[in-house]
Chain A
Amino acid sequence: MSAPLAQLRIREDPTESCEADNGFCPDWIADNFDRYVDPFFEHVYLTVVAVAIGFAISFALALIAYRRRWLVSPITQVTGILYTIPSIAAFFLLLPLTGRGKTTALIALVAYVLLIIFRNVLAGLDNVPDETKDAGRGMGLTDRQLLWRVEVPLALPEIMAGLRIAVTTTVGLATLAFFAGAGGLGGQIFSDITFKSNVVVAGGLAVLLAAALDGLILLVQRGITPWTRAVAAR
């Protein structure tokens, strides 16, 4: 793909009336669905890998900043700047450094989710009640035990909420990854932006992916935070 914005004619038989009208053609979709499969999985890959790396980095940053409060403001500022750089601009800024391909796209996508996850993890940790921490320390939990056995588990609802925002945002942003030559559903959408059938299928797959990943995280969250659903019995 040397010219990402070139409009390719993907319609083989433009004389057929539905296709000629750029309409929504179920027959065409059924015949051509194969062409969306690879971009879809590229999209899944970009999203999952970007969020996973972004989560690892920002979770670590949040844990460090939680104990060393003076780091909160510089980390928030730096990740905040990364968050405000438009991703298309980021792709083009990175091209001379990292070249075209998935690496460039992933760097930009990761940079974008850092702030979201960092702030949610930190907020989750900050919201752990003081008396809970005091009781834990008073019973002889070391700082590390307190963190992993009490503070992180209690922050899980906020952490998972951050992940859900990060995932849905990243699915959307990854549609621009083809500008960096990383493929994904965006390439398909822009391949023939005038053809309704194409846009609906490619765009629809992105929406479905976002909803599916969001639902998956929600399910995991329910599984690992059973206490949040425990209602007063009396």
Chain B
Amino acid sequence: MNTSDSAQPPGPSSRPAAATLEFRDATKRYPGQDHPAVDGLSLEVPAGEICVLVGPSGCGKTTAMRMVNRMIDITSGDILLDGSSVRERRPAELRREIGYAIQQIGLFPHLSVAGNVATVPRLLGWPQDRIRARVDELLELVNLDPHETRDRFPAQLSGGQRQRVGVARALAVDPPLMLMDEPFGAIDPINRERLQNEFLRLQREIRKTIVFVTHDIDEAIKMGDRIAVMRQGGKLAQYAPPAELLMYPQGRFVEDFVGSDRALKRLALQRVRDVDLWKAPLVRVGEPVAEARAKATESEVPYPLLVDGEGKPLGWLSEKGMQGERVEPELRSNPDPVLELEDVLRDALSDLLQEEAQYGPVVDHRGQVVGVLSIEILGHALRSDPDEVPSGADAAA
């Protein structure tokens, strides 16, 4: 692969390339140490997927990541990027083709945001106007206003903005592979959640191959297409997609590491739109009571749900509202919690428990009711694998 080719950014329409990555018995041994830091790591990351390296501190996950761009050189074995060995590449050139984002972000304090983002394009000798256009494009991609942020220094940004600039900088020359070492580690929990979601949305667009290091199993489950659990001594304990890891943890170590609440954690893998919802018995004010009663009997939900003219939920209809010929706006309770199709099941469950509700209406992005989610449905989701004893179901009941 030659540098100038791989450095070409795609036009706005062309599809960005992603690389496959393969660790082949990769080992790092430091002189004078009894055990290798990374011990015979073998795994493949398909193009366009996020591979999370997770494990307790000292398990070699960061070392494994840094072996990819030769920040640390492997002792034996090999690492293949799109089939060709990284050992044959000159480190500086190799690194310019691999996006790199670390926990402390490491923005250059003496350069403006634009200067930071332009680091690798400048190394590759892009012309000024192309760099300027690319910087603005990247800042927009990570939800920063180019006009407002371009000329600021890192010290003038919030933690979340710095993190976004770090991601933009790592993406500058549209690298086929990105290395991210606890990129959200230094961010407070609320912003962290937002940045994770933002990054997942971004990844759906850019489809990079990503090696993502974290010590946090919840983050691993949320971010990873595949998760490599590593243990002390630099050994790979298990490499599997999140659902499989939670359903079939191999051995005591992985089982303990994913935690006893792994059944509940599986709820974090599915969204409300992924499960079969109950049909909502929707009624409107003025509708014949007979029809409303019929709907309620048909549905698994015992009470009709009153909606407004646009189909947005108003609340559960009381018996009093069905005394006359026509439905009256008499509510037994508000519709809370109102759930969204994009909510993960774990959050939906938490909302239901918080409101002490058995079920809640589910709305789409316009706020219109599309169905009802119940504790019962969540129970089914937990039991969806016959081999899996839903140990978390007790907590949910």
Contact = CB atoms under 8 A, between A and B. Distances in A.
B200 to A, nearest CB: 23
A129 B92 CA distance: 20
A227 B106 CA distance: 15
Contact of B92 (A131, A140, A234): A140
A153 B93 CA distance: 23
Given A139-B120, A140-B123, A142-B92, A227 B110 contact: yes
Given A138-B95, A227-B153, A132 B109 contact: yes
B120 A131 contact: no
A131 B106 contact: yes
Interface stretch (B96-104, B137-145, B253-261, B370-378): B96-104
B146 to A, nearest CB: 16
Contacts of B91: 140
B155 A139 contact: no
A233 B156 contact: yes
A176 to B, nearest CB: 39
A135 B71 contact: no
B80 interface: no
A150 B119 CA distance: 11
Interface string A136-175: 1111111001000010011010000000000000000000
A82 to B, nearest CB: 32
Interface in A158-203: none
A232 interface: yes
Given A132-B108, A137-B71, A140-B95, A230 B102 contact: no
A207 to B, nearest CB: 34
Given A135-B102, A139-B120, A141-B123, A230 B153 contact: yes
Nearest to B148: A233
Given A137-B71, A140-B94, A132 B158 contact: no
Contacts of A230: 152-153, 155-156
Interface in A217-234: 225-227, 230-234
A178 B359 CA distance: 96
Given A138-B95, A142-B92, A225 B110 contact: yes
A126 interface: no
A136 B96 CA distance: 10
B69 interface: yes
Interface residues of B, number: 32
Given A145-B123, A154-B110, A225-B110, A135 B105 contact: yes
B179 interface: yes
Contacts of B92: 140-142
B102 A134 contact: yes
A133 B104 CA distance: 11
Interface residues of A, number: 26
Contact of A140 (B120, B156, B179): B120
B120 to A, nearest CB: 5
Given A138-B69, A138-B102, A140-B94, A154 B109 contact: yes
B156 A231 contact: yes
B102 A227 contact: no
Given A139-B120, A227-B155, A131 B105 contact: yes
Interface string B156-188: 111000000000011000000001000000000
B288 to A, nearest CB: 57
A145 B125 CA distance: 13
A224 to B, nearest CB: 10
A233 B152 contact: yes
A129 B156 CA distance: 18
B109 A227 contact: yes
Interface of A: 129, 131-142, 145, 150, 153-154, 156, 225-227, 230-234
Given A129-B106, A154-B108, 19 more contacts: A131-B103, A131-B105, A135-B108, A136-B108, A136-B119, A137-B95, A138-B106, A139-B96, A140-B95, A140-B123, A141-B119, A150-B110, A156-B110, A225-B110, A227-B109, A227-B153, A227-B155, A230-B155, A230-B156
Interface of B: 69, 71, 91-97, 100, 102-111, 119-120, 123, 152-153, 155-158, 169-170, 179
Q: Which 6 A-B pairs have the closest CB atoms?
A: A135-B106, A140-B96, A140-B95, A131-B104, A138-B100, A230-B153
11 contacts: A129-B109, A131-B103, A135-B102, A138-B102, A140-B94, A140-B96, A141-B92, A227-B153, A227-B155, A232-B156, A233-B157
